[in-house]
């Protein structure tokens, strides 16, 4: 199986409470924040590796994993770490972050899919900077491919995937025939979430994502990384969404500590009046 994994680097989500808005409110200042692979894309990459191996022999790849990002040159280090983790090839569509919106990203990815012809496009359900939750579904439509969003488990079948999805009220299971788009949710990296056809159904992965061993980091420097200008893959560079202003959220005023359960009940009943 050949899998394309679109990945995005984002300002480290664990530092998101330190993001600053420029004095005029026209920009979000990312300077000084650490960059990190979008966690959902990290999970998508892990899922892609699980689908292209026998879990018991995770050093041998049984398929190809290609990562692609739309980003400026600084993102090459993100691509290199994905290569070190196990991806075979990387593509960077050269673009400044503020020259992009979800609609343009989906169009560019469509062009890459048409060229690469993967069996599966596996990606995060959302990038945790913009929190848009858009690109996967849009890409599936542009390709006229079936999709399974918010995937919690994936089981490979003959030419198809059985995907259980986290939806309001429970779990929805779909079967998609390849080629298809799947977007992943948090639980996709649990020990029993992803099974390729080679992996024994009783096999259990370690919880979470794998880390690149040191020799792989060296080897990743030699893996192919192609750069494509954005203008070569989209019909127009025009953006259809425009942010005019940013503002910080309203701060909650600091509360009080109560000394006992009875004081809590008293406050809830007589001060907050919520009981």
Partner 1 sequence: MSKILVVAEQAQGKVKSATWSAITFAKQAATLSSGSFDILVLGASASSAAKELTGFGAGEVRVCEDASLENYLAERYAPTVAAVAQGYSVVCATASSFGKDLMPRAAARLDAAYAGDCSGVSADGGQLRYKRPMFAGNAFGHLTLGTQVQVVTVRQSEFGVAVPSGGVSAISTVPLTPPGKAAERVEFISMDQVQSARPELSDAQVVLSGGRALKDKFFEVLEPLADQLKAAIGASRAACDAGYAPGDYQVGQTGKIVAPKLYLAVGISGAIQHVAGMKGSKTIVAINKDPDAPIFQIADYGLVADLFDAVPELTSALKARA
Ligand X SMILES: Nc1ncnc2c1ncn2[C@@H]1O[C@H](COP(=O)(O)O)[C@@H](O)[C@H]1O
Ligand Y SMILES: Cc1cc2nc3c(=O)[nH]c(=O)nc-3n(C[C@H](O)[C@H](O)[C@H](O)COP(=O)(O)OP(=O)(O)OC[C@H]3O[C@@H](n4cnc5c(N)ncnc54)[C@H](O)[C@@H]3O)c2cc1C
Binding site for ligand Y (CB under 6 A): 13, 39, 128
CB of 254 to ligand X, least distance (A): 33
Closest among 254, 79, 52, 256 to 154, alpha carbons compared: 52
Q: Of the candidates 127, 161, 182, 194, which one interacts with ligand X according to CB under 6 A? A: 127
Binding mask 218-247 for partner 1 (x = CB under 8 A): ---------------------xxxxxxxxx
Binding mask 72-111 for ligand X (x = CB under 6 A): ----------------------------x-x--x------
Closest among 13, 41, 10, 37 to 184, alpha carbons compared: 41
Write out the binding residues for ligand X, residues 34-53 only, by CB under 6 A.
Answer: 38, 40-41
- Cα(249)–Cα(46) distance, integer angstroms: 34
- φ, ψ dihedrals at 110, nearest 5°: -60, -45
Contact 94, 234 (CB under 8 A): no
Q: Of the candidates 135, 151, 178, 189, which one interacts with ligand X according to CB under 6 A? A: 135
CB of 209 to ligand Y, least distance (A): 11
DSSP 205: P
CB of 39 to ligand Y, least distance (A): 4
- Cα(214)–Cα(216) distance, integer angstroms: 5
- Cα(92)–Cα(254) distance, integer angstroms: 45
Q: Which parts of this chain interact with ligand X (CB under 6 A)?
A: 6-8, 38, 40-41, 69-71, 100, 102, 105, 123-124, 126-127, 130, 132-136
């Amino acid at each position: 199986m050949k899998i394309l994994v679109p990945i995005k680097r984002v300002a480290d989500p664990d530092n998101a409470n330190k993001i600053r808005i420029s004095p005029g409110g026209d920009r979000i200042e990312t300077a000084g924040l650490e960059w990190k692979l979008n966690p959902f894309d990290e999970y998508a990459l892990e899922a892609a590796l699980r689908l292209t191996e026998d879990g018991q022999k995770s050093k041998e790849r049984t398929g190809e994993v290609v990562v692609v990002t739309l980003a400026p040159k600084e993102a090459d280090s993100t691509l290199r770490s994905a290569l070190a983790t196990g991806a075979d090839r990387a593509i960077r569509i050269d673009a400044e972050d503020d020259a992009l919106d979800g609609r343009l990203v989906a169009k560019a990815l469509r062009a890459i899919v048409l060229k690469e012809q993967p069996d599966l496009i596996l990606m995060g359900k959302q990038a945790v900077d913009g929190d848009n939750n858009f690109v996967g579904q849009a890409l599936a439509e542009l390709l006229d491919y079936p999709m399974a969003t918010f995937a919690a488990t994936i089981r490979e079948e003959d030419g198809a995937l059985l995907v259980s999805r986290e939806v309001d009220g429970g779990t929805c299971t779909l079967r998609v025939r390849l080629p298809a788009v799947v977007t992943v949710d948090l639980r996709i990296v649990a020990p029993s979430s992803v099974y390729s056809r080679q992996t024994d159904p009783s096999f259990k992965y370690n919880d979470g994502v794998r880390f690149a061993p040191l020799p792989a980091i060296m080897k990743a420097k030699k893996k192919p990384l192609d750069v494509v200008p954005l203008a070569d893959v989209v019909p127009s560079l025009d953006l259809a969404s425009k942010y005019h202003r940013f503002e910080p959220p309203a701060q909650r005023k600091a509360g009080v500590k109560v000394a006992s359960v009875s004081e809590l009940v008293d406050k809830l009943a007589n001060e907050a009046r919520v009981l």
